[in-house]
Each structure stands twice: as C-alpha cells, then as structure tokens.
Amino acid sequence: MASGFFVLLDDIAAIMDDVAVMSKIAAKKTAGILGDDLAVNAEKASGFASSRELPVLWAISKGSLLNKIIILPIAFLLSAFLPVAIIVILVLGGLFLAYEGAEKIFEYFVPHEHESEGITEETFTEEQILEAEKGKIKSAIVTDFILSVEIVIIALSTVVGKPLTQQIIVTSIIALIATIGVYGIVALIVRMDEAGYKLIKFSKKEKSISKFIGNILVKALPFIIKSLTVIGTIALILVAGGIFVHYIPFIHHYVEGINIPAIVKEFVIGLALGLVVLAFVNLFKKIFKKKQPAL
C-alpha cells in the first residue's frame, strides 16, 4: 500500500517535471508574441486620464481572459480530432502577424497622418471619454483574441504527441502567463509616470534621490512604450518567419541550404511575406474605395 503511494507520487513528480520542461520550451516559442502582446496593450492602455488607465486595463484583461476560455477548448478539440487544422491556423496566423509587422515598418518609412488618440478629461466630456474607452477596449480585445489564438496554437504545437493531460496543463499555463503576466507588467508600465510624479512631490528638497528617481520614471515611460513597439514589431516578423520556415515545406526546403543564421532567415522570410500580404490588402482597400458610391 505504502509503496504504491510512493510510486504514485513519483509518477506525479515525473509528470510535473515534464510539464515544467515543456512549459519552458512553449514559453520560449511564444515569447515573441507575448512581447508584442505587451507592446500592443501598453500602447492601448496609455493616452487616457490617469484615473482611467487601470479601469481600462482591467476591462481589457477580463476580455483577454474570456478570449482564452473560448480558444483553449477549441484548440484541444482540434488537436485531438483534426491536427492538420493546427498547422493551417498557425500559417494563417503567421500571415496576419507578418502583415502587422510589415505594416508598422511601412508606416514608419512612408509619411502619413495620425489622428491623436489621447483621451483626457480636459478635451472630452465624461460621456465622450466613456464612449471612446469602449471603442479602444473593443479594439484591444479583438487584437488580443488574434494574438491569443497564435499563443495558444504555438504553445500547443510544442506538446503535440504528448498525453492530453500534459497538453492541457502546458497550454493553460502559457495562456495564464499571457494574461496575468502581460497585463500585470502593462499595469506597472502605464503607472510609471504617476509613481514618478508622486516621488517628485514627496521630496521637498531641490536635489534628492526620490526626485531623481521620479524624474527618471516620468521621462522613461514614452521611451519604454516606443521601445516595446519596436521590439514587438521585430518579434512579430520573427515569429511569423519561424512559422513559415518550420511549417511550410516549400520554404523550409528552400532556406535549408542557405548558410546564414536562422534568425536572419526567419526575419527575411517573415518580412517578405508580410510585405506581399500588405500589398494585397492595400490593393483591396483601393479597389473597395473606388467601388464605393460618391456621397
């Protein structure tokens, strides 16, 4: 009886050890999308009055959690009964990620106008603020859904062939990290400037450590958000390129003999296909505009 109990404990320990190893691998493979998720949501949660940043972020977080609850069971069913669908979704998601990355690079180099997205109490009424918030929250949740699909599918692809229990545990761990971890870090980022202002006000001396740290926090926030956007864009293209190289046989065989670092191959392939998709999307938009009747 006792020996059977210890055998059971040993089996559980072995399973948890396997889960830890597989979770680490899955986390590495999804790191690019998690980075982009972080950059996107830091950008979406900023630009509001300071009193509204956390409520907006909380609403996006709840939407993100709901996204995972919807996506996870569907992913497990597809993995069990239609595994080829996982590859198809991966490639389609890769095309979307490549398009997103290519579009950001294109917009950076091609001059274009941006509408101001700042929502503050000084420029809008309370009703307008709440209405604008709803629009930004909805947009953020839709973007999160697409990124969540990729995160879950990529995490699941690392445990294909493993027992279903391990698939569920590993993928669920990554999904939780993608929600709690990402949005926890975003909350800290968007409140950096507020913490900085409090530290500045706390010190009455002209030169003090708290005032010095406060100034750094206030000045660092725009730089951090811009840096995350750049890192997220590169990550998007690398993740997409990695999907294409590993899951599209033609591309895999084509680049296999090219003697350059894998990261360069993945970036070039991801950017090239992203630009192709971007060209098609822009062409479609122009055609659609021409067909619209003049008002």
Distance in angstroms (rounded) separating the CA atoms of residues 145 and 37: 10
Give me the tens of pLDDT residue by residue for the chain, a chain 295 residues long: 444 433 333 433 444 444 555 555 555 555 556 666 666 666 666 666 666 777 778 888 888 889 888 988 988 888 778 888 888 888 888 888 889 889 988 888 886 655 444 554 455 566 766 777 777 788 778 877 877 887 888 787 777 667 777 778 888 888 888 788 777 877 777 777 777 777 777 777 767 787 777 788 778 877 887 787 787 788 778 878 888 888 888 888 888 878 888 888 989 999 999 999 999 998 888 887 776 665 5
Predicted TM-score of the model (pTM): 0.69
pLDDT tens-digit readout, 12-25: 344 444 455 555 55
Q: How many residues are there in the chain? A: 295
Distance in angstroms (rounded) separating the CA atoms of residues 187 and 190: 5
Distance in angstroms (rounded) separating the CA atoms of residues 250 and 239: 18
Residue 204, number of CB atoms within 10 A of its CB: 8
Q: Reduce the DSSP state of residue 111 to 3 states and report it.
A: coil
Residue 217 CA, chain-centre distance (Å), reads: 24
**164-176 and 50-81 are packed helices; what angle lies between their axes, rounded to 10 degrees?**
170
Distance in angstroms (rounded) separating the CA atoms of residues 268 and 36: 18
Q: What pLDDT sits at residue 58?
A: 83
For 181-196, the DSSP string reads IHHHHHHHHHTHHHHH
Asked whether the beta carbons of 106 and 278 are under 8 A apart, the reply is yes
Distances in Å between the Cα of 223 and the Cα atoms of 30, 49, 92, 189, 212 are 24, 19, 32, 11, 17
Asked whether the beta carbons of 48 and 41 are under 8 A apart, the reply is no
Instruction: Write phi, then psi, for 255 (nearest 5 degrees).
Output: -90, -10
Strand partners for 48: 119
